[in-house]
A and B are shown apart, each in its own frame.
Chain A
Amino acid sequence: MSHGSVEKCEPNMTPMLDLVLQLVMFFMLCANFIAEDVNATIKLPTALQARPLDKAEDRVIFLNVDKEGKVLPNTRGITVPLTNRIMVANYMKDQAAFDDGLKKRAAEKGKPEPPPSLVVLRAHEDCKYEKIANIMLGCQEAGFPRIQFRAIVGTSK
């Protein structure tokens, strides 16, 4: 028994590190910080027939509508809640000006005219339909006929 021949006993860290880095990668990819201009406070209704979103859409305008029917501020120009149809129509007219710019550029390049932007209404499930209808009317007045309702994709029991 000689004390001079003590061997160093180290655990093999490499597989563990591999695993940890893979987990880190997974959570980094899943972390969706600012994917869309969506508001997490809105409780969406559930629909079985809700279809997945079309990734081919060039420009989508999200309108988050709370329980009282107000369009909540977003990162695209809404600074105060929009409370009536006229305010929605004015905001959407500003957005229409951007669409017109896109159309002009497409015409200059000889490309086909792009369709009007898609408006996605993310409305709280307890909001009264009258409020939603007024928002849709505001969008329609400003020249946005393409509207979709957002819902949580439900599963049949």
Chain B
Amino acid sequence: MSRRRRHASNPFVEPDLPITPMLDMSFQLLAFFLMTFNPTPTEGHLDVTLPKRDGGPSTKLPDPFTTDEAEEFTIRVEADDKGDVGSVSISVGKEGGGVDVPGKGREARTNLFKDLQNRLAAAKNDHAERNKSTGESKPFVPPKIKLELANELNFKIVIAIMDESNRAGYPTVAPALKDDKK
């Protein structure tokens, strides 16, 4: 009777949405994702230029080491007994020998970085002077770097050397094994 009277006075029925179970479920989901949240560090990539191999399929790609205009630096890296840098030497072109970079380990890498920066600055100056004397405006192409690496070097050291070469202004770095003379 009273019900009928309420309906008569208020024709709209107020919907009662049960929020509590939804909130429970949401909290459970939240707790799950909070506990499984494991942000991974950002990964990036370093491009690798493969050295030319006789008869290999990679000859389809342009080989930076056979072009005449691109100068080439060869960096030879020996390993110490921990897999770090034992000694480093740099040579220009395909000539043997090379100039030793002083130091070992991190010190050698820092000196190599400075040496590469100085060599790049000198190469840029030479290029500018050549352009001036010939009256041409050829763009500057940074020399390529070929790494001849000892077998026992740790991968993180190889990455560090490639990274420092890139930072010094050399975009093309080709890592190869020291004993692999092909």
Contact = CB atoms under 8 A, between A and B. Distances in A.
Interface string B150-161: 111111111110
Interface stretch (A42-50, A76-84, A100-108): A42-50
Contact of B57 (A40, A51, A143, A148): A143
Contacts of A126: 83, 154-156
Interface stretch (B3-11, B26-34, B102-110): B26-34
Interface stretch (B40-48, B68-76, B133-141): B40-48
A140 B63 CA distance: 14
Contacts of B27: 20
Interface residues of B, number: 50
Given A27-B30, A127-B154, A148 B176 contact: no
A123 B43 CA distance: 12
Interface stretch (B93-101, B114-122, B123-131, B162-170): B162-170
B30 A52 contact: no
A151 B37 contact: no
Contacts of A49: 46, 162-163, 166-167
A129 B151 contact: yes
A88 interface: no
A23 interface: yes
Contacts of B29: 24, 28
Contact of A125 (B41, B45, B156): B156
B44 A24 contact: no
Interface of A is mostly: mixed
A129 B43 contact: no
B152 A130 contact: yes
Contact of A13 (B19, B156, B162, B177): B19
A129 B149 contact: yes
A97 interface: no
B14 interface: no
B4 to A, nearest CB: 21
Contacts of A46: 156, 159
A50 B166 CA distance: 10
Given A24-B33, A30-B39, A152-B43, A129 B23 contact: no
Contacts of A141: 56-57
A50 B44 contact: yes
A157 B149 CA distance: 28
Interface of B: 19-20, 22-23, 26-27, 29-30, 33-34, 36-37, 39-48, 50, 53, 56-58, 60-61, 83, 149-160, 162-163, 166-167, 175-177, 180
Interface of A: 13-14, 16-17, 20-21, 23-24, 27-28, 30-32, 40, 44-53, 120, 123-130, 132-133, 136, 140-143, 145, 147-153
